[in-house]
Structure 1
Amino acid sequence: MKAIVINQYGSADELVEQEVPLPEINDDQVLMELKATSINPVDWKMREGYLKEMLPYKFPIILGWDAAGIVKKVGNQVTAFQPGDKVFARPKTNPTGTYAEYVAVEEDLVCSLPENSSFDEAAAIPLTGQTAWVALVEIAHIKKGDRVLIHGGSGGVGHLAIQIAKHFGAYVAATASGKNEAFVQSMGADEFINYKEQDFETLLSDYDIVLDTQGGETQEKSFSVLKRGGTLVSIAAPPDEEKAAEKGIKTGYFFLEPDGERLQELAELMKNDELKVTIGKTVPFTEEGLREAHRVSEEHGVVGKIVVQIGK
């Protein structure tokens, strides 16, 4: 089958087309014929070699963490799906990812495609949607009436996090650049902060939850926004535990482990039009298409998600 792989760490130019064996499935897996995948920052961080100690894979490595497509084959123990079913998933973290025509995925990580969702839309949800859900629901225990600050509200995680927070009845403030104000507000944000011209830490106070997608100075300033007992969850870097203890703030930092039941929760929101992904760019399943997508992602040059159309 065709795949886009890396044979060494480096720039986007390391993404090359290669023929690789069709995945063999275990008894508890389905073989998905991919119609679309999407780009996440973890893709190019892995390509650059930033994750090689945590994920010491042998080359060639197939990147990609999102899958949407059609079930081609099922293992002997699979009961929930059959060939022809339209599905999506965030497969397990391994060196045979989703920049490929086929991928093997455990049955318990697979979810039926909502009828009102396209393959492109579904492919953009699994990693970023589950990341936002873990941060807000499983770590911060969001509830109705909470005041939530989401950094990077126009990004892949941020624009989904706004919608999830609103689903739970929270008041949401979000940061982004001024050109994305209308978009962030359309996602449901109650308050918009242009991070290039405004200092969020002087405008906001007494918040229950901050979702940090930036790290660095943004994370440091976020401590002052939270009330005692509040929660700072980061997907960028572990928050300072000593500072958190001084301020009576809970912290969270995680590397996403996929979960099919969690993805099903997101699918229900998708079915009810409470969770809509924005696709800022689509690229073809070619070397140049993937290279362009990685470069745009590294430059934070798109609103929402970048989708790779495979089965077109």
Structure 2
Amino acid sequence: MKAIRIYEFGEPEVMKIVEVERPAPAADEILVKVYAASVNPADYIIRRGGNEGLKPLLKLPMGLGIDGAGIVEELGSEVTEFKKGDRVYGVPNYLDGSYTEYLAAKSTQFALMPHTINFNQAASLPACARMAWSGMVEKAKVQPGQRVLIHGAAGGIGNLALQFAKAYGAYVIGTASAHNADFLRELGADEVIDYNTQKFEEVVSDMDVVFNATPTTTVDEALRLRSVPVLKEGGIFVCTHGVWPSEEFKGLLARKKATVLMAGVDINHQHCFTEVAKLIDAGKVKAIVSKVYPWERAAEAHRDSETKHVRGKIVLQIRQED
């Protein structure tokens, strides 16, 4: 089979489509015939050599891609929740990669795809949906009538967090560029703040939840500190990056009896993806795909993603859908 592998860390051109051995599923795994995979910031971070937390775990050569969609080709002997031919979406085993014609992964990391969307749309969801669902639904436990502020609301995680909050009845305010204002309103945003011309802390207050979905960690600490005044007493700040905030930030939150929570920790993937599929099939959530690239153009897709101004997700199409 063919798969994208990197044999050195560096720019997008280090990604090569090569012939590799097709994996065989273990007893608790499924073999997925992959039709599409999405491009996430984690992919280019890993391609460059990783951050401080990832560097010790990365071993060359390696694959890329942290989510995808396809058809169940084989079942491990202990797998009972799927059958051959099922259309599924989910995440590969850690650091195995989804830019590949076939992947073997634990069955608990996949769920049946929504019936109302195609493989490209389904592949755009898992990695971001698990963060948005974990942070907004499981950690913040968003409730009808609550006021929610989402930083980076037009991105892959942010647009899903917005849609989940609206599906659960919240009043949602999103920050984005003016270019994305109408897009966010179409997804249900009650208000949109242009971060280039407005300071959110001057126009919002009494937020029950502040959800940080910005695609970069470089501005996180300043954004966190600016967010504290807009939280109501007892409010919740949700992080979506693996870097915990400073003691200064946590001290400011403590004075408001507010809480900081990390999305994506201890998540039940199969439950998350099953619930997201229900929301999509019910018409309450949309899969937002900004562009689809054939996987032969993965380098171009990565360069597009690295602009950090993608609306929704970029998808790599591995196979044409029948």
TM-score, with structure 1 as normaliser? 0.95
Structure 2 contact 209–235 (Cα < 8 Å) conserved: yes
Residue of structure 2 equivalent to 1:307: 315
How far apart are the structure 1 equivalents of 2:87 and 2:264?
A: 27
How far apart are the structure 1 equivalents of 2:300 and 2:35?
A: 19
Identity %, equivalent residues? 38
> 2:183 is matched by which residue type in structure 1?
F
Deviation above 6 Å: which 4+ runs of structure 1?
A: none
Structure 1 contact 33–101 (Cα < 8 Å) conserved: yes
Counterpart of 1:220 (choices 215, 225, 233) is 225
Q: Residues 261 and 255 from structure 1, CA distance in 2 versus in 1: closer, same or farther, beyond 3 angstroms?
A: closer
SS state of the match for residue 223, structure 1? Answer: helix
Q: How many residues align?
A: 309
Task: Tell me which moved more, 60-69 or 48-57.
Answer: 48-57
In structure 2, stretches of 5+ residues that fail to align are: 215-219
What is the root-mean-square deviation in Å for CA atoms of aligned residues? 1.5
Residue of structure 2 equivalent to 1:136: 136
How far apart are the structure 1 equivalents of 2:191 and 2:93?
A: 36
The equivalences for 1:47-58 within 5 A come to 47-51=47-51, 53-54=53-54, 56-58=57-59
Task: Tell me which moved more, 233-242 or 258-267.
Answer: 233-242
Residue of structure 1 equivalent to 2:289: 279
Deviation digits for residues 242-294 of structure 1, max 9, x if unmatched? 222233210012455561111111011011011101110110111xx111111
How far apart are the structure 2 equivalents of 1:92 and 1:228?
A: 40
Residue of structure 1 equivalent to 2:168: 168
Structure 2 contact 11–47 (Cα < 8 Å) conserved: yes
Counterpart of 2:251 (choices 242, 255, 262) is 242
Counterpart of 2:235 (choices 230, 235, 248) is 230
How far apart are the structure 1 equivalents of 2:8 and 2:268?
A: 26
How far apart are the structure 1 equivalents of 2:149 and 2:192?
A: 10
Task: Tell me which moved more, 187-196 or 296-305.
Answer: 296-305
TM-score, with structure 2 as normaliser? 0.92
How far apart are the structure 1 equivalents of 2:263 and 2:311?
A: 24
Residue of structure 1 equivalent to 2:126: 126
The equivalences for 1:16-31 within 5 A come to 16-31=16-31
Deviation at 1:8, TM superposition (A): 2.0
How far apart are the structure 2 equivalents of 1:37 and 1:160?
A: 18
How far apart are the structure 1 equivalents of 2:207 and 2:52?
A: 36
The equivalences for 1:81-96 within 5 A come to 81-94=82-95, 96=96
Residue of structure 1 equivalent to 2:188: 188
